[in-house]
Amino acid sequence: MEETLVFIDEGFLDKLTKLLGGKTRLKYDKIGFAKRIAEKQDLICRKLFYYVCPPFQSSRPTEEEIRRKRGYDKFIAAISKNKEIIIRERRVQKIINENGEIQFKQKGVDTLLTIDLSHIKDDYPKIKKIILVSSDTDFCPIISDINKKAGNEVRLYSYFDKTRKSKFSLSNELIKCCSKYIKLTKEDFTACPIKK
């Protein structure tokens, strides 16, 4: 079978696993998940590029922030031992909207992912099929570019509903610029339990 690279936007998957888990995030093995979705496309996952942000820490972290950061650090230390995964971290920004509600936004993840996608032709010249797990239309220009210039094929794993402006309202533009769209299911996660 042909090899592929899998690019995962964890911010997107975090929201999706919460939705599919009925407000409780599904727990799953990241490498197992990448291998599973590659195998469903008759491909072998050579590398998983995993884009993530550590939990927000205020200038004087609360006990909850400290607890979350400890858990995150433990998780990153564990998965970084696997040479099949490349972890790319950025940061989280805390935003208070006009209604006084607190929101957290990833910063810099899209840029890192775009840079890595743009290097595929040079860094992995034998790879011709790429799997992207995201819902972000910001990737359309780089996807179109690598499809034309490198002759690669980008297959999109995502999830969308038909509710306009929901967290999962996927743009037709993203689907059109990819060679194939595959909708993620709850089973894609539950079939990859964490091995202890």
Dist. CA 5–CA 14, nearest whole Å: 20
> Domain 2-190 is of which CATH architecture?
3-Layer(aba) Sandwich (3.40)
Dist. CA 148–CA 152, nearest whole Å: 7
Q: What integer pLDDT is reported at residue 162 of this predicted model?
A: 63
Dist. CA 3–CA 128, nearest whole Å: 8
Check the CA dihedral 17-136-102-54 and report its sign: positive
- The segments of the chain whose pLDDT lies below 70 read 149-150, 162-170, 196
Dist. CA 179–CA 157, nearest whole Å: 11
pLDDT in tens, 75-118: 999 999 999 999 999 887 777 788 888 777 777 788 999 999 99
Q: What integer pLDDT is reported at residue 187 of this predicted model?
A: 96
Q: Indicate the pTM of the whole model.
A: 0.90
pLDDT in tens, 107-130: 778 899 999 999 998 999 999 999
- The domain segmentation of the chain, as residue ranges, is 2-190
Q: What integer pLDDT is reported at residue 165 of this predicted model?
A: 60
